[in-house]
Structure 1
């Protein structure tokens, strides 16, 4: 199936553009009623057109504001907007129909979960179906040119490991380079898992320290993409992987991107059990989950505790977090939830008191992290709010008629911010001559995983059981059964963001463009958080996003200025 396409009906004088559901190949357009339509997979190509450059290159203030908002409160409703007011994006899984005076967006893709109704009768049926579809997805992404080497980004997690192992399974003789980003920090070092996979599949394995030229790589990405990069962290890792794979003679780099949300874990069953007040099911789920938890950061003797004690602590931890998550609904809801759990479960009052007291003491003894969700300048917020714009939420459009569960899932799977990041890496790959692809971003796989009951996904408490079972014969046991993976709330996130800021700050602070869009006081407050060594990494994720987004916005504005494009709105 084509990723993008166009059709024209000369009789009706109608143009149609379409884009596949998981098409990382972007398709942009500008439509000026009764004058012209211009479309391209290259945003840079559209803005360089003489007519667009001279008359239609106004900046989209609302889009800039949402870029600076880590809360992303309006990202979904403005999902087809670019950073240029007149230029729009064809949303994945949709068609855009033009006539001389108007534009209409319609859903192209439908989901048919009913095809699995009488097929998935046993867990073996699920395993077989997943393996078959995953194999087809990897075959499609890898292509049939086995004479050329191919690369995978092998992090050591279940997703990237499965992509690498399946690729070797279907193309046993092809030269396969597995590229692992070697971390300098113990809390994000997964090299042992990657080596275990590489040894099993006999790949040419590379441990690579990503480039430290963060600011220069953002400049490169921005010039290729034509607008700010949408990542929450400096995009050095995937950029380094693409460049390294290209240097090894590869034309394709496969990854496990998107697997978490598409495959699913089954953990949603906790919410179902709580909402339906199925207390027996809830406690059973927690008992199954307990062996895969580790609270060694809270209990130094965790490994020596009895299994019964661990189960009890896991339950109390869940109950406590369930109550705390009600804070945004008000005190009455917190009390109601607490009493509900106390009446129906073995909630420990003493555990709650101890946790609450510890939380208060930690707040008193640690620096206050009073960051902000939006660092946009006041004038930008006022100006963007004063301009009414038509909105379109394509994740909601795709989920229409599938129910609330699908709506929540699609907000994650088809998140516009993630999609824009992938479009940026398509542009970079196109620029340097390599294609970045993720086999897990596959419609048939998504339909299957939506049809698999949460109880099957949850399995024995590890989660993702349908995925793990299908890969057991291809992956090392240590990878199949690993309960989690490294996160970016680590020393790695701090180092890379701090390094980016040090590289960019002189040019950034002297800029004449950026301060029209960013609140200086708010931003410098985020820099103070970034530079404060007493604040734990777990409280800095919003700050890392703010700094990265500010630098990518600055880089785009400077690129616009140096390229002779007008900065007007």
Structure 2
């Protein structure tokens, strides 16, 4: 807040965060009990204004959306609740069994809905509503599909579990903290706790291995990743390697075999050269100055940057706020409000105050949230540690469909190329269409292409509304 006086200017933060109010929490039980109360208030507050209409909740089957739907039932034991699940066409992204388990437990009216494939038309609609490019990393068609479906069911409010990963947290930061502080006994203990919940895709026959074998592989896999992430300098890599060798049971043969295998994989797979931006070089040279203002840092205030810096950067990422603006505009257009009970100040303060060791628990993570929801969730959701990812056939087909819908208008554009480098864009299209490149290496490409489509749609809108 900026207050202007005749001779003075006063600047004050509009909001501040104080996690110390929860410093008395010492155990997972205490954290769970406190979290239950705060989360209940959050869900109740977000469900207000439904004007006696049926409640609606977007239920993906993950821990966050399942908790929102389950808490909504706890607060409203006799109300009609519609749970709406985005049914995936692809097995690697199908979470419908988890969603159905929640729906059965809370006795909701459950709906399985396929996402609209009118990606480009919906982007153009949202662009006209927001008068700015959309803050989307992938097609925003899912939000429109869920909002329209809930509205047609008679609801005025659609709840969702958005923001839970960042705000609630998992406690997995304990590994990096133990490594940075060189607490080798603690690191060894944490890795052993993680073994029962580790679900790798790189070790064939994992389920047949003995516990000792799994324990060995989990630790070596972590050490290898820690070495490779130490930096590009050979000296830094060597320093990290020998420090680990002195302090933990590092397997030199595992490191050698793993390194050779990764080297061969890189040689045998297509080379994916990641691009930071598709912007024109001339444009980038004009905009090489870095802003000194950080939105996340200004909100963090005097809180310890080492402890809270990454958290605030994640929660208050400008893209997150941008997407929330788009969601608000779209909800106003459709006549239904999309709300995220996870995104409340009280819940954020509480969760950031809970020590990572409590969150990590016995190795599966999010122990504080599980303790809060243990009576409301079905066992298969309460205990799950897996999660569907967009780095799958789902993300590939959605981006490919969007590009095919938009490519003609994009390539014929007369103004887009003032901002976007055509050669860089075509390189990303080649990556998109290459079936030999794994999905996890294409996620940046999907984002680049989606952002180009949203920019192009905005430029077209500007031209039509001069």
Whether TM exceeds 0.5 here: the answer is: yes
Compute the displacement of 1:249 (Å): 1.1
Q: C-alpha separation between the residues in 2 aligned to 1:230 and 1:97?
A: 31
Q: How far apart are residue 252 of structure 1 and its match? A: 0.5
Q: How many residues align?
A: 465
Q: Structure 1: any 5+ residue segments left out of the alignment?
A: 1-94, 565-569
> For residue 296 of structure 2, what is the aligned residue in structure 1?
395
Partners of 2:59 and 2:85 within 8 A in 1:
yes
| Counterpart in the other structure of 2:23 | 117
User: How far 1:112 moved relative to its partner?
Assistant: 1.8
- Corresponding residue of 1:320: 224
Q: From the superposition, tell whether residues 290 and 503 of structure 1 become closer, same or farther in structure 2 (CA, over 3 Å).
A: same
| Residue 343, structure 1, aligned to residue 281, structure 2 | no
Name the structure 1 match of 2:33. 128
CA RMSD of superposed structures (Å): 1.7
Tell me if structure 2 keeps the 8 A contact 1:147–1:174: no
Normalising by structure 1, we get a TM-score of: 0.79
Relative contact order (alpha carbons < 8 A, sep ≥ 6): 1 or 2 greater?
Answer: 2
2: CA distance, partners of 1:335 / 1:218: 49
Q: What does the per-residue CA deviation read over 1:88-107, in whole Å, with 9 as the maximum and x for residues that have no partner?
A: xxxxxxx3546799997631
Question: Could you say what secondary structure the match of 2:385 adopts?
Answer: coil
Distance 2:176 2:14 in 1: 32
The CA deviation at 1:389 is 8.6
Q: Whose helix fraction is larger, Structure 1's or Structure 2's?
A: 2
Q: Distance in 1 between matches of 2:416 and 2:8?
A: 35
Which moved further from structure 2: 464-473 or 140-149? Answer: 140-149
Where structure 2 has 5 or more consecutive residues not aligned to the other structure, the ranges are: none
Task: Report the Cα offset of residue 246 of structure 1.
Answer: 1.2
* Pairing partner for 2:437 from 511, 532, 535: 535
Is residue 2:204 matched to residue 1:303?
A: no
Deviation of 1:145 (Å): 4.5
Q: Pick from 338, 352, 364: which aligns with 2:255?
A: 352
1:184-211, Cα deviation, whole Å (9 max, x unpaired): 1111110000000000001111111100
Is the alpha carbon distance of 1:216 and 1:449 closer, same or farther for their aligned partners in structure 2, counting shifts above 3 Å? same
Q: Is the 8 A contact 2:93 2:392 kept in 1?
A: yes
Q: 1:509 to 1:96 in 2, by over 3 A?
A: farther
1:29-68 → structure 2 map (5 Å cutoff):
none
Shift of 1:383: 2.9
Question: Within 5 Å, which residues of 2 pair with 1:110-189?
Answer: 110-118=16-24, 120-143=25-48, 145=50, 147-189=52-94
Structure 2 matches for 1:465-544, cutoff 5 A? 465-544=367-446
Report the CA distance shift for 1:238/1:316 in structure 2 as closer, same or farther (over 3 A): same
CA shift at 1:123, angstroms? 2.6
Per-residue CA deviations over 1:120-159 (Å, capped at 9, x if unaligned) read 1433221110000000000000016572112111010000
Deviation at 1:419, TM superposition (A): 1.2
Contact conserved, 2:33 with 2:371, CA < 8 A, in 1?
no
Distance 1:144 1:169 in 2: 18
Normalized per residue, the structure richer in strand is: 1
Alignment partners' CA distance in 2, 1:304 and 1:270:
26
Change (3 A) 1:234 1:101: farther
Shift in Å, 1:299: 2.4
Matched position secondary structure for 1:107:
coil
Match for residue 171 of structure 2?
266
Cα deviation, residue 437, structure 1: 0.6
Contact 2:50 2:155 in 1 (8 A): no
Find the aligned partners of 1:247 and 1:104 in 2 and give their Cα distance: 49
Is 1:546–2:448 an aligned residue pair? yes
Deviations 1:451-475 (A, max 9, x none): 1111111100000000001101000
Q: Which residue of the partner structure matches residue 113 of structure 2? A: 208
Q: Pick from 221, 235, 243: which aligns with 2:140? A: 235
Query: Aligned to 2:357, which of 434, 455, 465?
Result: 455
- In 2, Cα distance between the equivalents of 1:540 and 1:496? 12
Per the TM alignment, residue 484 of structure 1 is displaced from its structure 2 partner at its CA by: 2.2
More displaced stretch, 232-241 vs 461-470:
232-241
Measure how far apart 1:381 and its partner are.
1.4
TM-score when normalising by structure 2: 0.97
Distance in 1 separating the partners of 2:234 and 2:153? 59
2:197 matched residue in structure 1: 292
Query: What SS does structure 1 have at the residue aligned with 2:12?
Result: strand
For the 8 Å contact 1:371–1:525, the answer to whether it is kept is no
- Residue equivalent to 2:98: 193
